[in-house]
Copies of this chain bind each other. A is one copy, B any other.
Amino acid sequence: MDRKRNISMAVIKRLPKYHRYLAELLRNDVDRISSKELSEKIGFTASQIRQDLNCFGDFGQQGYGYNVRELYAQISQILGLSNDYKTAIIGAGNIGQAIANYNRFEKLGFNLEAIFDANPKLLGIRIRDIEIQDIDKLEEYLRSNSIDIGIICVPRVNAQKVCNILVNNGVRGIWNFAPVDLVAPEDVVIENVHLSESLLTLTYLLHEKDEEIEE
């Protein structure tokens, strides 16, 4: 693929949204779509869409638009979804269990291989046929099993320690739900889901609107 380098983070963050909308078009048996039609659905401008997709190669055809199936396949590939990923969840509390039970990720090629927790009460319980193991066995497990993505759902104070164990044993992708910014070497990718921060963004915007109304 004639792929240009130095894609901006803003473009990268928009790609999964293209992927989601194209999946919906496929479900609705739409074969092709113009950047203008896609724009009306997705809410980005048509020129933004053309510019974004041009970063990755020469999709679309003047006067024809995009072939939905092809564009979906190519964006899937760009997103790395042509690979399968082995994942492990560390921390089987509320969020960890919710992620473990969420079957949508499997369809995208994410295979949950193991779950770890420190709470003795949880050990041995099975979530979708995967037994929760003692977190003390994480390191040993990683030495003999290759994991692509570690999903950190432990409390804030333990998150960096878990991250270190994962990284020192070859895990290169970290999906972090703990409300802390983890430190890792440059070749490790960390993606955070900071739920409290999302909620506080919501209250900020609500509060701002209230002030507008009061004025």
Could you list which residues of chain A lie within 8 angstroms of chain B, going by C-beta atoms?
A: 12-13, 15-17, 19-20, 42-43, 78-81, 83, 85, 94-95, 97-99, 101-102, 104-105, 108, 110, 148-149, 172-173, 175, 179, 181, 187, 189, 191, 193-210
Q: How far is the CB of A109 from the nearest CB of chain B, in Å?
A: 8
* Given contact pairs A15-B200, A16-B197, A17-B194, a sample of 6 additional A-B residue pairs in the complex whose CB atoms are under 8 Å apart: A12-B204, A78-B204, A78-B207, A79-B204, A79-B207, A110-B199
The 8 Å CB contact of A196, one of B16, B172, B173, is B16
Q: Can you name the residue of chain B whose Cβ is closest to the Cβ of A20?
A: B179
Least Cβ distance of A158 to chain B in Å?
15
CB distance from A210 to the nearest CB of B (A): 8
Q: Which of B43, B79, B198 contacts A203 (CB 8 A)?
A: B79
The 8 Å CB contact of A191, one of B20, B85, B94, B199, is B199
**Interchain CB contact under 8 A, A20 and B173:** no
